[in-house]
Amino acid sequence: MPRQIVLATHNPHKVEEFQAIVAATRPDVEVVGYDGPEPVEDGVTFAENALIKARAAALHTGLPALADDSGICVDVLGGAPGVFSAYWAGHAKDAVANLNLLLDQLSDIRDPHRTAQFVSTIALVIPGEVETGEHVVTGVWPGRLAEAASGGGGFGYDPIFIPDGQPADAERTIGEWGASEKNAASHRSRAFASLVPLLTAL
């Protein structure tokens, strides 16, 4: 039987993404969705919020819990939206409104000043292991922001994020990438790579 780990989110896109990322290296681990109450994410860092969510899911389900807190950090905005990425246009968590607001705020900014990073911090909480049962890792995916959305793939800010490392004459936003291509390079996959040894030790 696969070992189950609960992912502390009600976002189905994140669940699908994590299932694919985990399966690529640990097919013996099954990522299951979380149907419990959402805790108040009142942390001021990605790490604090990831731990809040993972602790709540571990307590509710009794399973080892993963939680991702992630966002886009724009250099010219001093790292904002950052931990407020999901709420940038208000508490409705409207992804389209968030993206459009960010584009509007940067409407007068041109390259090379549109640099940004996707950041993912993943917390792993293992029930019953008080002193050694919490782990936090972070992955960073550098790039810059396009001046307009492009592509129908991904979610959130993906349609305006152009990752570094692409050929200059063939640059694409993540919205134009396929799911498997994104999962192999994303900030979440980079963070998760650091968790693989810990999952092996479970």
Annotated binding site for substrate: 9-14, 70, 155-158, 182, 187-188
* Binding site feature residues for Mg(2+): 69
Per-residue b/e over 72-82, b at no fewer than 16 CB within 10 Å?
Answer: bbbeeeeebbb
Catalytic residue among 69, 94, 108, 111: 69
- Distance (Å, whole) CA 119 – CA 140: 5
Q: Alpha-carbon distance 152 to 91, whole Å?
A: 24
Which among 61, 190, 200, 31 is positioned nearest to 120, based on CA atoms? Answer: 190
Cα–Cα distances (Å) from 146 to 61, 162, 173, 184, in that order, read: 41, 7, 7, 21
Q: Which long-range contacts (CB under 8 A, 24 or more apart) does 78-84 make?
A: 82/46, 82/119, 83/43, 83/44, 83/45, 83/46, 83/49
35 annotated active-site: no
Tokens at residue 193, please? Answer: 């790579």
Catalytic residues: 69
